Amino acid sequence: MASTRNKFRYCKFGSQCPQLETCQYAHNEQQRNNSQNYSSSKRNNYNISYDQYQSEYGDQTDDSLQPYQSCPKNQNLSYTMTTQRQMSPYSGDHSNHQGSYPHKKQFDSNQQSNKVPKPQNLMQINFNNCNISDSASISSKNDSSTSFTIDSSIWIEHSKAEIKILFEESLPEVFSQHQSLIDEQLILLNENDDDVKFSKETNVQELKDQLETFEKTISELSIVNPSTLKDAQHLQKRLKREIERLKAHLPIYARRQQLIDTIQSNRVVILKAETGSGKSSQLIQYLVDAGFANGGQIICTQPRRLAARELASRVAKEFNCKVGEEVGCHVGASRPQISHVTQIRFVTDAVLLNEYQMDPMLSAYSLIIIDEAHERRIDTDLLFGALKICLQRRPDIKLVIMSATLDDKLLSKYYNDAIVIEVPGRTFPIEDVYAIEDPENYVDEAINKVLDIHANQPSGDILVFLTGQDEIDRAIDEVMRKIDPPESAMILPLHGKLNEDDTKAIFMSTGNGGRRKIIFSTNIAETSVTIDGIRYVIDSGMVKEVMWDSKRHMRILKTAYTTQSSVKQRRGRAGRTSIGKCFHLYTYDTYQSLDICSRAEILCTQPSIAVLKLKHLNIVDNIAEFDWLESPADSSLQETVKCLTWLNAIDSKTEKLTDIGRSLAKLGLDPMLSVMILTGQKFNCFSHVLALAGMLSVVQNIWWRSKDDQSKQLSDEIRSSFIYDTDIGGDYIVLLRIFLEWYALDDHRERRKTWCIKHMIRWKSMKLAYKFVRELAYQIAPTVQLHFSKLNDVLI
């Protein structure tokens, strides 16, 4: 392990400090002077930091500690901070500061109560061969090595000393900073405009409420006296989290105790919290701190994989842990990132539905949160019904449903008049700019607006809402060619088909070098993810919706106008961190004509996938008995059952799923496409059918077409050549031939890109098609080897 010699920092414990790398005493000159008597020769022998040691051996400590409970209900929280802190093991003499947070007090290392036992034999221990536990013993891993014993109270006392620094220096500092912010806002209240004045008064009151929440929380924590190393570390992390929460000024922090009390006394709570309130990342942490995870994990569902991954990463960072430790994540068919210490789990809706099939009681969880409930995807609506059944079976489980724009009256009635809490968002003033007339081509208009903002508006990142990957790729290509200078901006895509590595740059700061981020996104950026630094939003007003094509008997994605609630969410992204502007690429009259909210997916498409999942998950025995939040038409359900029976997915006599039906349900694709794939597996052309399925998943985005007539003509000629050179099979064989020719280039990136350019085919679409093929193959048969022979050798 790398030596920390060059990173040495002075501390009261000198070279024997168990947290030498991060010790807060390093900032105290008095302690620096007291540590001069330690020789540099001893320091050089210290070759492992405490944090490094804990990361390697910390899981062997006592796991019995549970998160701290809230104060008992009979605890008098009206005590002043001074009164509470006089009870605290960390308090000094604060009698002169009653009624307010105590001022800083210099830590006196000469006080008898602050003396810490000096370790005697820490230098001689080879930490690479040791285990540690709260039982205060360190034993050798190898029988041939010497056994050592060391008093773990050294580390406990050191953690307590750092906690004392937090109480006496860090907490008063952040308290003072927040109070100064309130004072500054009070000075600015002199405003003639009544609306502006009311907004500022509301902001001041919110800041006061946040400070009150902070005081009460620290009062509770100040009387905790940890007896084990793990207890001390837990308290230390908790205090640091509270400091960061107050600094963040999120609106939900002011409502923290109200939310905890309401959830404690109600089985179902509906939280309508605006964008920017902090609901998705903060509420689940508050619930863990309040002890709700003591009886089981708290699970939070998201409609999108990207949102679940990003939230898990953010909350893990705030918990000072890695994803897979206290904070877990599970999306898609990937391996769950969880462990025996996991308290929080972020998953997609589909993952929780699959768990419901295995365990209808959901016994691993004490509380379930459904986030972004307004999106009303099929999986979300199935969860609503499944959890309603689970609530009847388990009287101890709790449910929280969250969204910024959900129909709270509908949901409240569905869950027997469940209580509704509203939390405002925090946004800076946003200027709306509407178009004089609706554009002929909203993608071209968005590109022109990006270039105009970049050339003429002050610094600030740009977020552009388009409908899908094809539009995003085209817009990025155009802007990259036209922007001047090219290095002045970082241009990025954001849509659901990107993997975790592809999205990291979106959430990273570009620094102070003046480089602007320009992000082209689908509606995934409306509510599911938080991107700091956005000052300008360009809203096309369009979205791709899943619809049922009755002529072709299949689900399709149709481009249509979005809703007013969606526009509100997009607009709010411009005012998260500073004043902003929202450029609407449509007229105000068009906005006024939009629907208020979006319809549930189950009402817009044939419910074949929903019916398959209902039967497969054993949520109900009879489809007609399922309690929908909004039920599809009876005729639509009957037509679906008839179609699935014809496909041999449902037994005509028992109305239960057949083996084929269970396979279709697991795939989660359109039943007709799923039957094609399974039939291909049966007739030994599995690889080719998967390739065709992959191409069908991107069929709308395959061909690249420029705006000029000459390029359009060339693209049409190339497309025709594929058709004429393929003797049999029609469009499907054309798509398959394109995939096979591209794949035959032996995974050579540049050769494949060159081939795509020559044939005017989108390189990114081909990559997505191949990714779809690999993931689907693994889902169906994890050990299968894909073999893509030449078309003529197999099919002709």
Ranked by mean pLDDT, which of 159-168, 194-203, 421-430 comes out on top? 159-168
Count of alpha carbons within 13 angstroms of residue 689, beta-carbon side: 18
At 782, the pLDDT band (50, 70, 90 cuts) reads low
User: What pLDDT was estimated at residue 672?
Assistant: 86
Q: Which residue has the higher pLDDT, 794 or 391?
A: 391
62-100 tens-digit pLDDT = 333 333 333 333 333 333 333 344 445 555 544 333 344
Ranked by mean pLDDT, which of 362-371, 711-720, 785-794 comes out on top? 362-371
pLDDT at residue 315 is higher than 90: yes
Residue range(s) of every CATH 3.40.50.300 domain in the chain = 251-423, 430-602
Query: Alpha-carbon dihedral of residues 366, 371, 376, 379, nearest 10 degrees?
Result: -50
Residue range(s) of every CATH 1.20.120.1080 domain in the chain = 632-794
- In our burial notation (b when 16+ CB lie closer than 10 A, e otherwise), range 310-319 reads bbbbbbbebb
Over residues 754-761, the mean pLDDT reads 86
576 with 532: CB under 8 angstroms? yes
Distance CA 532, CA 672 (A): 42
248-262, 341-355, 405-419, 782-796: segment of lowest average pLDDT: 782-796
User: What pLDDT was estimated at residue 56?
Assistant: 36
348-352, 450-454, 471-475, 549-553: segment of lowest average pLDDT: 549-553
Q: Which residue has the higher pLDDT, 707 or 275?
A: 275
CATH code of the domain made up of 430-602: 3.40.50.300
CATH class of 632-794: mainly alpha
User: What pLDDT was estimated at residue 577?
Assistant: 72
User: What pLDDT was estimated at residue 502?
Assistant: 75
pLDDT at residue 108 is higher than 90: no
Distance CA 629, CA 384 (A): 7
Distance CA 688, CA 795 (A): 10
The DSSP output letter for 68 is P
Over residues 426-449, the mean pLDDT reads 91
Over residues 235-241, the mean pLDDT reads 92
User: What pLDDT was estimated at residue 106?
Assistant: 35
751 with 653: CB under 8 angstroms? no
At 25, the pLDDT band (50, 70, 90 cuts) reads very low
User: What pLDDT was estimated at residue 231?
Assistant: 87
User: What pLDDT was estimated at residue 551?
Assistant: 64
594 with 561: CB under 8 angstroms? yes
SS3 content of the chain, % helix, strand, coil (to 5): 50, 15, 35
Distance CA 219, CA 462 (A): 42
547-601 tens-digit pLDDT = 776 665 667 778 899 999 899 989 988 877 778 999 999 999 999 999 988 888 8
475 with 502: CB under 8 angstroms? no
Q: DSSP 3-state assignment of 19?
A: coil
Intra-chain end-to-end CA distance of the chain, in Å: 61
User: What pLDDT was estimated at residue 141?
Assistant: 39
User: What pLDDT was estimated at residue 526?
Assistant: 87
Q: DSSP 3-state assignment of 489?
A: strand
pLDDT at residue 500 is higher than 50: yes
At 777, the pLDDT band (50, 70, 90 cuts) reads confident
User: What pLDDT was estimated at residue 100?
Assistant: 44
Q: Which residue has the higher pLDDT, 716 or 472?
A: 472
Q: Which residue has the higher pLDDT, 481 or 41?
A: 481
Over residues 769-792, the mean pLDDT reads 72
652-673 tens-digit pLDDT = 888 899 999 998 888 888 888 8
pLDDT at residue 302 is higher than 90: yes
At 748, the pLDDT band (50, 70, 90 cuts) reads confident
Over residues 117-130, the mean pLDDT reads 30
Specify whether domain 251-423 bears CATH 2.40.10.10: no
User: What pLDDT was estimated at residue 71?
Assistant: 38
At 134, the pLDDT band (50, 70, 90 cuts) reads very low
26-40, 329-343, 515-529: segment of lowest average pLDDT: 26-40
378 with 602: CB under 8 angstroms? yes
Tokens for 502, please give them.
């592809």
Distance CA 327, CA 343 (A): 6
User: What pLDDT was estimated at residue 137?
Assistant: 37
Name residue, tokens 């995870």: 293
At 124, the pLDDT band (50, 70, 90 cuts) reads very low
pLDDT at residue 424 is higher than 80: yes
Containing H/E element for 731? helix 731-743
Over residues 400-412, the mean pLDDT reads 91
User: What pLDDT was estimated at residue 457?
Assistant: 92
Distance CA 251, CA 635 (A): 46
Ranked by mean pLDDT, which of 128-132, 390-394, 747-751 comes out on top? 390-394
User: What pLDDT was estimated at residue 494?
Assistant: 92
At 530, the pLDDT band (50, 70, 90 cuts) reads confident
Ranked by mean pLDDT, which of 311-315, 574-578, 743-747 comes out on top? 311-315
- In our burial notation (b when 16+ CB lie closer than 10 A, e otherwise), range 79-113 reads ebbbebbbebebbbebeebeeebbeebebebeeee
At 288, the pLDDT band (50, 70, 90 cuts) reads very high
668-704 tens-digit pLDDT = 888 888 898 888 888 888 888 889 988 888 877 778 7
Share of the chain above pLDDT 70, in %: 74
Q: Which residue has the higher pLDDT, 339 or 555?
A: 339
User: What pLDDT was estimated at residue 666?
Assistant: 84
Over residues 385-409, the mean pLDDT reads 93
pLDDT at residue 620 is higher than 90: no
Tokens for 626, please give them.
């399922």
Q: What are phi and psi of 679, to 5 degrees?
A: -70, -40
User: What pLDDT was estimated at residue 729?
Assistant: 63
**Which amino acid, 172?**
P
pTM score: 0.74
Distance CA 632, CA 754 (A): 48
At 13, the pLDDT band (50, 70, 90 cuts) reads very low
User: What pLDDT was estimated at residue 64?
Assistant: 33
463 with 472: CB under 8 angstroms? no
User: What pLDDT was estimated at residue 761?
Assistant: 87
Cβ count near 708 (within 10 Å):
9
Average pLDDT, the chain: 78
Over residues 486-509, the mean pLDDT reads 83
46-60, 79-93, 245-259, 596-610: segment of lowest average pLDDT: 46-60
User: What pLDDT was estimated at residue 528?
Assistant: 66
User: What pLDDT was estimated at residue 790?
Assistant: 53
User: What pLDDT was estimated at residue 48?
Assistant: 32
User: What pLDDT was estimated at residue 780?
Assistant: 78
Distance CA 364, CA 293 (A): 10
User: What pLDDT was estimated at residue 38?
Assistant: 34
Containing H/E element for 306? helix 305-318
